[in-house]
Chain A
């Protein structure tokens, strides 16, 4: 998905040094002025300098209200060149804030709101709704909450006390009958009716929301936990801990290694928090603030 842009810019640099400047002034992309190697497709985590001074949000259309992000005078675009337009004001403002937080260098790897919104707009794998649902449903067969370990005994108890309430809440809410197992060779652990219920539940959302849902499920390795988060049964902090219960148990036994465990949990937490915010904003319209137009900071 990136090679077209990249090839164009790289060729531009060889033939005429002014072409990339012209391109750069109107378009903002990941692969902006990537001249070095053509094999990384602009996806490297090479930090770029902050090339803009002010970040602002503007209303691009009145009804329905849509917002665009401006970096100085340049409109923010996705890697494949689509304009970033957001219908929700809170989401637009928080995305703008994220760009504004990049003080000296732009660290794209830490900008989860930005990358998720790009993915939703671009749809790089060209998935339709059914394909995404099929991908999400794949996680149901291997849901973290359902396959448990009965040794050691403390861990066994910990799983029961922390995961059973989640199962109970989901079962009550969706009228399903999910059951956990300690055996990997159980046939038909997920009943066909439960599968249909989950599928029906998922199909009530639109494509963009489902992409976000898939991202959350991929992070948590569990559909049931994702549903729990979406329905606000547990906070982001709790959910991220519950999804890596065994790691937490081992930490309690041995010790916490900051640059591995803390890094990992913070990464998961920021990812699912960003994903949840986008999911919420796609499905709920937070009321508009009365503010002077084109506020610049």
Chain B
């Protein structure tokens, strides 16, 4: 019951593989060769051995979904894992600053009374 077409899943996989691979192209990845090979092997029909329709495509889109959701989850975690912003930071985002609080140091009353 895969809803995406084989080509869009393939494109999605390539996109996921090329993210974070700044040093090398994804073309050198063995997993890429494997996926390409599988795609070529099942080109005419995406069902293998006359099993239920789109079996291999289902696996491919599951893998795509795995890569995608793991990556997005990491992004959300990196954004929100630092806790909430302080009032000052929140004000800075919208270009405002908190009013400066003029506060004199606390003068101990007890000592003065002793003197």
A-side residues, CB < 8 A to B, are 57, 89-90, 93-94, 96-97, 100-101, 103, 107, 110, 112-113, 232-238, 258-259, 262-263, 266-267, 269-270, 273-274, 276-277, 280, 286-287, 289-291, 295, 297
Contact = CB atoms under 8 A, between A and B. Distances in A.
B31 A110 contact: no
B43 to A, nearest CB: 14
B30 A93 contact: yes
Contact of A236 (B24, B33, B65, B79): B65
9 contacts: A97-B29, A113-B66, A235-B61, A237-B65, A266-B76, A267-B73, A270-B69, A286-B38, A291-B33
A202 to B, nearest CB: 20
Given A96-B30, A236-B62, 9 more contacts: A89-B34, A93-B31, A97-B29, A263-B77, A270-B69, A276-B62, A277-B66, A286-B38, A291-B30
Instruction: Please classify how large the interface on chain B is, using the bins under 10, 10 to 19, 20 to 34, 35 or more.
Output: 20 to 34
Interface of B: 1-3, 17, 20, 24, 28-31, 33-34, 37-38, 41, 52, 54-55, 58-59, 61-63, 65-66, 69-70, 72-74, 76-77, 79-80
Nearest to B2: A235
Contacts of A289: 33-34, 37-38
Contacts, number: 102
B33 A235 contact: no
A236 B64 CA distance: 10
Contacts of A258: 76, 80
Contacts of B54: 232
A111 to B, nearest CB: 8
